[in-house]
Structure formats: C-alpha cells, structure tokens
C-alpha cells in the first residue's frame, strides 16, 4: 500500500520578482499601523491646505493684477507724458539726468536721495493707456545702462554706464507697422540699433511719449532674509524731444495708479525740457519681498507633516523585520537579497506615491479656492504646472519613503533611521526656507546638494533679471529647476539603496 | 530577603529610588550606543555651529544677525540626537522586551521613570554643556573674521556678558528639556522609531508652518506655543523687543511641553500593562 506523500499546492521556487512584490504587499497591507499612518499622512497634507491662517486684502472678486500681452501678471505703473499718434514714424529724445529718492528704513515716510537699480526713464510706444497693454520702450536705468524692453518680459542691453549732463543718452524708437526698432546714441549723430520688437495687433493710433518710473526699493538683511523697503521715486530730465509725426499737445498722467508710490509724481515742461517724476514699474509682477501674493506651493505646507509620518513608515517597513526576526524567514524564502529590498522599495514607493498624488491634488485644488476665498492673491499657475506640482510632491513623498527604507536597511534600527531621514530633508529646508539663518549663497548650495533640493518641484515662479526681488527659497525661488531638484533627491535614494543592498548582502541577517 | 524598611515609609522610598537610579545608570552605562550618541550630540552641534558661522557674513552696513543665535544654531541638529537618546532610553526596552524585566525588578513604575529621567537629564546636560561651550568657542574664533567685530557693534562672544551667558546656559537647559519631552513621548508611545517621528515632527513642523502663515497674528501665536520656536527664544541676545516671546518665558513654554509629556507618559506607564 502506498500513500502519496504530501505536496504543498504552492508553486515550486525559485520565486520571481512578482512573487516578492506580492509578499511585500501582503506584509504592508496587513500591518494596520502602517496603513493608518499612510492615511494620516494623506489627511495631514489635505488638512494643512484647508487650515485657516492665510489672509489677504483682496476682495472676493479677486485682486486686479493687470495681465500682459503674454497672459502673465505684470506691473504697469509709470508717469506717462504722451499723445496719440497714428501710423509710422519715430520719436527721439535726449536724457541728461536720472535721479531718485528711496525710503529710509524704519523711518516711516522719510526719504533720502538714491536711485534703485531698475529706475527707468525713456521713450515708449504703447498700444493704449490700459495697464498691461503691449509696448516697446528705450530707457536709461539706475544701474543697468540703456535698455530696450518690450511686452514686459523682454529686455535687451544697450549702451552701458550711467546718464549725466556730461554723458547724456540719446534714445530713438521707430515704428513701421507692428515692428518697432530701438536705437541709442551717446552724441545724437552716431546711432546703434539695440533691438527690434514686433507688437502683434498694435493699433493704428498708438500712445507715444516719455516716461519715468521707479520700482520698490528693497533692502535685505543678510541671513535673516528679512526684507525692508518701500516705494521709491525717480526723476528723469529730457530735452531735444522730436517726433516725425505732426506733434500735438502733450498730456501727462500716472498710468496704473502710479505704482502706489509717493504722491509727488508729475511733470513740468519749459523751453523744450521735460522733467518727469514717476513711481512704479513696467515689468513682470513677482512674488516675494518685492511683490504680492502667494503661490500654489502655499497649499502644500502639509507635505512636511506627511513626510515625517511616511519616513517612519518607510524605516519601519524594514526595521520591523529585524526587530521581529521576520527578516530570517524573508531571506530564507527569498535568498537573493537585492530583489527583496527592491520589492520593498517598489511596494512602499507605489503606495506612498498614490497616497501623495490623491492628497496633493485635493490640497492644491481646494487649497487655492480657500486662499482666494480668504482674500489672498494666488499667482495663477497653468494646469500643466499644477499637475507637475502635484505629481512632483507625490514623487518627493515616495522617494523620501524609499530613502527611509534604505536607511532603515543600513542602520537596522528604526530610531536612528527616522531621525536621519527627518534631519536630512527637514533641517536644510528649515535653515534656508522656513527660518533662514544662512546667507543666500550657502543657502543656495544647501538647496542644490541636500535632499531638500527636491522641494523645487513645488516652485511655480519665474526669476526675471530685470526685476529686483529677493530670489531666495524663502520666497519660493529655488536655485534648481523643478525636475533637477527631484533628481537630486533620487540620486540620494539611489546611493542609499545601493549601500543598503551592499550591506544586506554582506551582513548576516 | 530581608526587609530593612517597611514598604511605604520614607526610608523605603529612598531605598527604592537608590535602587532605581543604580539600575538605570547600569543599563545606560553598558548600552552600546549611549556614549556614541552623547558624542554625536556634541559633534553635531559644534559642526553645524561652525559651518553656519563660517557661512555668515556681516558687512559694515550691518546684518541684523544675532551672533549668539548663529553660534548656537547647531542646537537645531543636536536636539535630534538628544531625541534619539531619549527615545531609546525607554523605547529600546520596549523593543527588546527588557521592560518586563525592569518592571518586575522595580514595580514602582513612577520611580523607575523618574530615575530614567534623572540619568538622561544628567547625561544630556553634561553633553549639552560641552556642545554649547564648543559652539561658542567656534563662534568666537570664526565670527570676528566675518564682520562680527566690536566696530560693527558686536562685542566678542563671552560668558561674562549676561545675555550671552543666558543664551549659553539656556541652550543647555533647552537640550535637557528636549530630552524630557522625548522621554515622556516615548514612554507614552512605547516605540522609539514612532516616538522620534512624533518628537521631531513636533519640533520641526511648527517653524515650517509658521513661516508659511502670512497672517502675522497667527504666526506670532504659533511661535509662542511651538516648543522649538519658543524654546530657542532663549538664544536671542539682540532685538528682544520684537520677539513673539521673551527668552525665559519661551523656555518656560518648552518646559510646559516637557512636563506635559512626562505627565502623560508617567500616567500611561502607571495605569497600562507593560
């Protein structure tokens, strides 16, 4: 009599990667604490977006920031001495002086002599007197020489050096249809072309004239990244103004409310000399010390709370195996140790990415609505940018969890692993963004090389060299572009995983 | 077994406390990680302090920087190591199951926790003193070359200066209180990894959230109640008037957090099965 020996109905080994994934997923799914922790992380991200504490002075209809021809938010405030002129022609003027006044820090409305770097005085051809309308201008600036600027975002250099009575600057703009060409000269006889602008749809009768403006004065205290300053004014002196059009009377006025500057703007005209005082800026609007409003990243403050919770989960996904000696069972069933760690990374990364994606999407969509409802000005971001911010945030959460898993493998102790992960990602952010103690340059390096570089995926702002602003992380400007910042985090994850696999294979379990 | 003193008397309590202290000291002394973590507290604090001091410049026009804060910025990292030390002091026992032996040998749980707290605080204060003195020395050596000179209105860092003394002594106390906060939370949670996550979240999240809040009223309140922001107010030597909370009151806020954590931890330890 023969009895058939017992055979397990499970498939014979060796097991493939899919089996490892299934095993690790089963482990993750069945530990209630980990599932709850992932849910808590997701809820924290949403909760911080919905929490109050962010208010602004915009009314419920929203703030009115003018939009430029490209659809971007712009500042468009200056003192404009102009007349409507139809058809082709050109305007020439000589500028003999550009002076200004800047506020004295911490002394109320007191002003002292001084010129901000991007104070502007020059000639302009503008579609209309509506803020945000298309324009092309030639100008002298506070400390950036002669520039040709058009349609807010474009900026071309001309003659270098400051303007003075002994070293005046001649400027000319020539219109031919939609095309405007800018020239500059130091003597009025030798002219050099600075650039050509094509202003699509420039009306037949455009506003042509002289302008002066002066942007916000900013003084940043090193390190503390605290910003003080206020509106400044500039005064430009023009003469030898000539038009090839038949000239009519000049009209003067502040465009765009004069940029909120001191009230002493205006112009005087005597014996062909125009003295124009203006305040404001003709430039892209910026967030931060020199600007207003918040960005989409504001809705994702909870990322940090989520990160800390997920770092605990990631570390314990490995260290719990050591603590409960489950690692011996795991490695007996799957003796190839590299794939075991890989399977764990895939499972924990996928779960946290999914949780991050859902919670970040809710936070960004609802958070913006709440911010606007509270009267805060939120810089609009395109749908694609918002998708990048959401997916990027989910990726930051997932990759950080994988780093925690790898460090848990290296240290085999949950306590140390959690502390290391929280410190390497939160502390650089704290030193440079949240409570900045470092000056801008070392802070920039910290945000290039540490895992905190990854928060660049949440930035939505563009830096404009022609606008003075505090382009530091504290105001949402990161030194690396979004995906490069995420790549830094991924590099750290790869290094940690590599070391983890190396040690896992080399050490006794 | 002879009972020299009847249970419940003053003498018996004293004897229990002695036993508990002796037992905890032996465990702490012989645990492999303790000495390394204490050295790590010192190394991390001084290294970050030196790096931040080396990166900071103060031009002749002024910089609004507080040299004491710059020199003591390493505490931001040192406290993370103190948290590990504190969480492992009790979380390690839960991890290995040692806690059952400990509580069998010393059934008075509150006494056991108090002994742990005393040993931990003593060690952290010692390491903290070395770390703070090292940081101030680094600041004193590095900062004058970077514009923090008496000519710019920054006298040399010296403990003879009362504000600097307050910043230095307060930073040592800060680390001690962080240790107690960590011990209390770890006692309540019974898992060192989760406890470290909770403590570091409590410390680091408040400043991150406060920075993101633009409403100055809310921001001020957050900085008044946050254990780290309020506690580190003790490091300020300049601009005291503009601060959301005064130095000693700030340290008091952290002390309240630590006391609350120890109370909750102690009550849970006493009334829960181990």
pLDDT digits (tens, 9 = 90+) for B215-241: 778 888 888 999 999 999 998 888 777
Q: Which of B190, B204, B207, B213 to mutate to test the interface with A (most CBs of A within 10 A)?
A: B204
Inter-chain touch A414–B192, beta carbons under 8 Å: yes
User: Do residue A310 and residue A273 come from a single domain?
Assistant: no
State the Cα–Cα distance between residues B254 and B230, nearest whole angstrom. 7
Residue A7 in any domain: the answer is no
pLDDT of residue A227: 59
Give the separation between CA A309 and CA A306, rounded to whole angstroms.
Answer: 5
Question: Which pLDDT does position A218 carry in this prediction?
Answer: 75
Q: Is A429 on the interface with B (CB under 8 A)?
A: yes
Q: Is residue A405 included in any domain, yes or no? A: yes
Inter-chain CB proximity B80 and A423 less than 8 Å: yes
CB pairs under 8 A between A and B: 137
How far does the CA of residue A132 sit from the closest CA of chain B (Å)? 28
Q: Which of A221, A308, A434 sits opposite B207 (nearest CB)?
A: A434
In this complex, is the C-beta atom of A422 within 8 Å of any C-beta atom belonging to chain B? yes
Confidence (pTM): 0.82
CA neighbor of A353 nearest in space, from A296, A391, A318: A391
Q: How far is A162 from chain B (nearest CA, A)?
A: 24
Chain B hits for A442, CB-CB cut-off 8 Å, are 55
The CA-atom distances, in angstroms, between B19 and each of A116, B13, B14, B24 are 72, 10, 9, 9
CB contact under 8 A, B84 and A419: yes
**Do A150 and A197 touch, CB atoms closer than 8 A?**
yes
Strands A205-213 and A78-86: antiparallel
Together in a domain, A371 and A393: yes
A312 and B192 within 8 Å at the Cβ level: the answer is: no
Long-range contacts (CB closer than 8 Å, 24 or more residues apart) made by A368-373: A368/A296, A368/A299, A370/A49, A370/A50, A370/A54, A371/A54, A371/A56, A371/A294, A371/A298, A371/A299, A372/A58, A372/A62, A373/A60
- Domain end marker among A264, A284, A304: A284
Q: Report the alpha-carbon distance of residue A44 to residue A47 in Å, rounded.
A: 5
B70 interaction partners in chain A (CB closer than 8 Å): 223, 437
Which has more pLDDT, A326 or B43? B43
Partners of B62 on chain A (C-beta within 8 Å) are 221
- List, for residues A6-33, the tens digit of each pLDDT value: 877 777 666 788 988 999 999 999 999 9
Query: Computed over its alpha carbons, how large is the radius of gyration of chain A?
Result: 30
Burial class (CB in 10 A: 0-12, 13-18, 19+), A156: middle
Classify the C-alpha dihedral B49-A416-A411-A352 as positive or negative.
negative
What is the C-alpha R_g of chain B?
21
Interval A475-493 mean pLDDT: 90
* Residue A197, both tokens: 């602008």
**Tokens 């100055």, located at residue:** B216
CA-wise closest residue to A472 among A209, A248, A287: A287
pLDDT reported for residue A112: 80
In angstroms, the CA A290 to CA A118 distance is: 13
pLDDT given for residue A101 in this prediction? 84
The pLDDT of residue A259 is: 47
Q: Are A179 and A52 in contact (CB under 8 A)?
A: no
CB A324 within 8 A of CB A10: no
Test B64 with A221 for CB contact under 8 angstroms. Answer: yes
Tell me the nearest-neighbour CA distance from B198 into chain A, angstroms: 8
Are both A149 and A115 inside the same structural domain?
yes
When pLDDT is averaged across residues A310-339 and rounded to a whole number, the result is: 89
What region, left, alpha or beta, does residue A27 occupy, with left being phi > 0 and alpha being psi -120 to 50 degrees?
alpha
Which of A418, A421, A441 would you mutate first to test chain B, the one with the most B CBs within 10 A? A418
Give one DSSP letter per residue of A228-246, joined into a string: EEE--EEEEEEEEEEESSP
Say if residue A369 is in the same domain as residue A397: yes
A111 with A235, same domain?
yes
- Per the domain annotation, does A150 fall within a domain? yes
Kindly state whether residues A27 and A90 are assigned to the same domain: no
pLDDT at A85: 85
The tokens for A312 are: 């605990």
On whether residue A11 sits in a domain, the answer given is no
Judged by a CB distance cut-off of 8 A, whether residue A305 touches chain B is yes
- A349 vs A440, more confident: A349
Of residues B81 and A475, the one with the higher pLDDT is B81
Mark yes or no for CB contact B208/A319 under 8 Å.
Answer: no
Structural domain total, chain A? 2
Task: List chain B domain ranges.
Answer: 10-271
For A265, the 3-state DSSP assignment is coil
Domain boundary among A253, A284, A315: A284
State which H helix or E strand residue A20 sits in.
Answer: helix A17-30
Q: What is residue B211's predicted lDDT score, i.e. its pLDDT?
A: 78
Lowest average pLDDT, out of A263-272, A326-335, A499-508, B264-273, goes to: A263-272
- A310 and A218 share a domain? no
DSSP string, A287-323: -STTS--B-GGGGGTTHHHHHHHHHHHHHHHHHHHHH
Q: Do B204 and A427 touch (CB under 8 A)?
A: yes
Domain match, A356 and A494 both:
yes
- The reply to whether A310 and A445 lie within a common domain is yes
Query: Which residues on chain B are in Cβ contact (under 8 Å) with A411?
Result: none
Choose the most confident range, by mean pLDDT, from A372-376, A456-460, B59-63, B267-271: B267-271
pLDDT at A223: 42
| Residue (of A401, A320, A353, A47) closest to B205 by Cα position | A47
- Tokens 């650039």: give the residue: A195
| CA–CA distance, B135 with B140 (Å, rounded to integer) | 9
Provide φ and ψ at B157, rounded to 5°.
Answer: -60, 125
Same domain, A219 and A300: no
Out of A55, A323, A422, the one facing B215 most closely (by C-beta) is A55
Q: Concatenated DSSP letters for A396-447?
A: HHHHHHHHHHHHHHHH--HHHHHHHHHHHHHHHHIIIIIS--S-HHHHHHHH
For residue A268, the Cα-to-chain-centroid distance in whole angstroms is 41
Cβ separation of A430 and B65 shorter than 8 Å? no
Which two structure tokens, joined as six digits, stand for A290?
């020199």
Residues A273 and A417 occupy one common structural domain: no
**Does a structural domain hold residue A64?**
no
For B170-204, give one letter per residue: b (16+ CB within 10 A) or e: bbbbbbbbbbbbbbbbbbbbbbbbbbbbbbbbbbb
The answer to whether the peptide bond before residue A14 is cis (omega within 30 degrees of 0) is: yes
> Given an 8 Å threshold on Cβ–Cβ distance, is B196 in contact with A427?
no
Tell me whether residue A66 is in a domain.
no
Q: Report, as an integer, the average pLDDT of A402-429.
A: 91
A140 lies in which domain range?
74-284
Positions of chain B with pLDDT lower than 50, given as ranges: 1-2
pLDDT at res. A215: 85
Of A260, A284, A308, the residue that ends a domain is A284
Residue B214 has its nearest CB partner, among A294, A315, A419, at: A294
- Check residue B170 and give its pLDDT: 95
Asked whether residue A427 is domain-assigned, the answer is yes
CATH code, A135: 2.60.120
Question: Taking CB atoms and an 8 Å limit, are B194 and A312 in contact across chains?
Answer: yes
Residue A30 lies in a domain: yes
Cβ contact, residue pair A419, B196, below 8 Å = yes
Residue B113: how many CA atoms within 13 Å on its side-chain side?
25
**Average pLDDT for A414-422:** 90
Q: Which of A112-116, A360-364, B72-76 is the least confident region?
A: A112-116
Residue A254 backbone dihedrals phi, psi, to 5 degrees: -80, 130
> Whose CA is closest to A224, among B47, B236, B220, B262?
B236
Minimal C-alpha gap between A406 and chain B (Å): 15
How far is B263 from chain A, CA to nearest CA, in Å?
23
| C-alpha to C-alpha distance for B52 and B73, rounded to whole angstroms | 7
State whether A223 and B59 contact (CB < 8 Å): no
pLDDT category at A131 given cuts 50, 70, 90 is confident
A309 contacts B211? CB cut-off 8 A: no
Same domain, A35 and A96: no
Is it the case that residue A289 has pLDDT exceeding 60? no
Say how far apart CA A373 and CA B19 lie, in whole Å: 62
The CA distances from residue A498 to A23, A334, A491, B13, in Å, are: 22, 19, 10, 54
Mean pLDDT of A386-400: 96
Contact call for A304 and B208, based on CB within 8 A = yes
CA B25 to chain A, closest CA, distance in angstroms equals: 21
The alpha carbon torsion through A375, A232, B216, A288 (nearest 10 deg) reads: 70
Contacts of A433 in chain B (CB under 8 A): 211
């Amino acid at each position: 009599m023969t009895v058939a020996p017992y055979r397990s109905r499970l498939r014979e080994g060796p097991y493939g990667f899919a089996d490892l994934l299934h095993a690790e997923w089963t482990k993750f799914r069945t530990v209630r604490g980990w599932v709850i922790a992932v849910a808590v992380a997701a809820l924290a991200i949403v909760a911080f977006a919905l929490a109050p504490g962010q208010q602004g002075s915009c009314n419920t209809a929203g703030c009115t920031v003018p939009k430029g021809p490209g659809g971007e938010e712009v500042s468009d405030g200056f003192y404009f001495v102009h007349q409507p002129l139809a058809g082709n022609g050109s305007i020439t003027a000589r500028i003999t002086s550009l002076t200004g006044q800047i506020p004295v820090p911490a002394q109320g409305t007191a002003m002292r002599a001084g010129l901000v770097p991007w104070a502007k005085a020059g000639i302009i051809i503008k579609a209309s007197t509506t803020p945000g309308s298309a324009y092309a201008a030639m100008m002298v600036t506070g400390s950036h020489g002669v520039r040709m600027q058009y349609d807010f975002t474009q900026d071309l250099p001309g003659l270098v050096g400051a303007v003075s009575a002994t070293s005046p600057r001649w400027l000319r703009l020539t219109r031919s249809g939609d095309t405007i060409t800018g020239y500059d000269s130091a003597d009025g006889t030798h002219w050099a072309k600075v650039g050509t602008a094509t202003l699509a749809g420039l009306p037949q009768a455009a506003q042509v004239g002289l302008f002066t403006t002066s942007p916000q004065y900013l003084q940043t205290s090193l390190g503390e990244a605290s910003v003080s300053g206020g509106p400044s004014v500039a005064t430009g002196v023009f003469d030898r103004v000539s038009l090839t059009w038949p000239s009519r009377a000049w009209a003067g006025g502040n465009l765009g409310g004069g940029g909120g500057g001191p009230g002493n703007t205006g112009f005087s005209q005597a014996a062909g000399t125009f003295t124009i005082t203006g305040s404001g800026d003709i430039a892209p609007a910026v967030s931060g010390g020199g600007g207003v409003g918040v960005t989409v990243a504001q809705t994702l403050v909870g990322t940090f709370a989520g990160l800390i919770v997920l770092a605990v989960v990631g570390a314990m996904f490995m260290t719990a195996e050591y603590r409960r000696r489950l690692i011996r069972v795991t490695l007996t069933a799957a003796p190839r140790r590299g794939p075991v760690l890989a399977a764990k990374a895939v499972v924990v990364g996928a779960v946290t990415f999914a949780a991050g994606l859902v919670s970040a999407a809710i936070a960004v969509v609802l958070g913006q609505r709440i911010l606007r409802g509270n009267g805060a000005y939120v810089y609009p971001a395109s749908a694609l940018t918002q998708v990048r911010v959401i997916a990027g945030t989910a990726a930051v959460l997932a990759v950080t969890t994988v780093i925690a898993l790898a460090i848990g493998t290296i240290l085999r102790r949950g306590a140390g692993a959690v502390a290391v992960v929280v410190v390497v990602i939160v502390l650089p952010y704290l030193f440079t963004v949240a409570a900045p103690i470092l000056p801008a340059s070392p802070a920039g390096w910290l945000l290039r090389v540490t895992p905190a570089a990854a928060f660049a995926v949440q930035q939505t702002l563009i830096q404009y060299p022609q606008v003075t602003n505090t382009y530091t992380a504290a105001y949402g400007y990161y030194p690396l572009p979004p995906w490069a910042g995420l790549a830094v985090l991924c590099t750290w994850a790869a290094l940690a995983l590599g070391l983890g696999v190396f040690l896992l294979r080399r050490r006794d379990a | 077994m002879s009972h020299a003193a009847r249970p419940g008397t003053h003498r018996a309590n004293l004897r229990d406390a002695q036993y508990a202290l002796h037992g905890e000291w032996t465990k702490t002394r012989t645990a492999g990680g303790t000495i390394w973590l204490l050295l790590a507290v010192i190394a991390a604090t001084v290294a970050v302090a030196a790096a931040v001091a080396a990166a900071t410049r103060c031009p002749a026009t002024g910089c609004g920087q507080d040299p004491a804060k710059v020199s003591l910025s390493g505490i931001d990292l040192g406290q993370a190591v103190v948290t590990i030390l504190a969480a492992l002091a009790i979380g390690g026992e839960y991890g290995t199951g040692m806690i059952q032996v400990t509580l069998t040998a010393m059934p008075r749980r509150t006494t056991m926790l108090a002994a742990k707290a005393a040993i931990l605080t003593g060690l952290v204060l010692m390491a903290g003193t070395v770390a703070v003195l090292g940081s101030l020395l680094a600041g004193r050596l590095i900062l004058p070359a970077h514009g923090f000179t008496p000519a710019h209105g920054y006298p040399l860092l010296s403990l003879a200066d009362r504000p600097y003394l307050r910043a230095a002594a307060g930073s040592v106390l800060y680390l001690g209180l962080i240790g107690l906060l960590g011990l209390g939370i770890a006692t309540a949670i019974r898992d060192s990894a989760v406890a470290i996550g909770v403590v570091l979240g409590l410390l680091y999240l408040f400043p991150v959230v406060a920075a993101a809040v633009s409403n100055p009223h809310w921001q001020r309140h957050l900085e008044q109640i946050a254990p780290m922001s309020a506690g580190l107010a003790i490091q300020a030597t300049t601009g005291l008037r503009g601060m959301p909370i005064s130095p000693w009151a700030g340290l008091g806020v952290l002390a309240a957090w630590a006391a609350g954590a120890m109370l909750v931890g102690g009550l849970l330890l006493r009334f829960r099965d181990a």
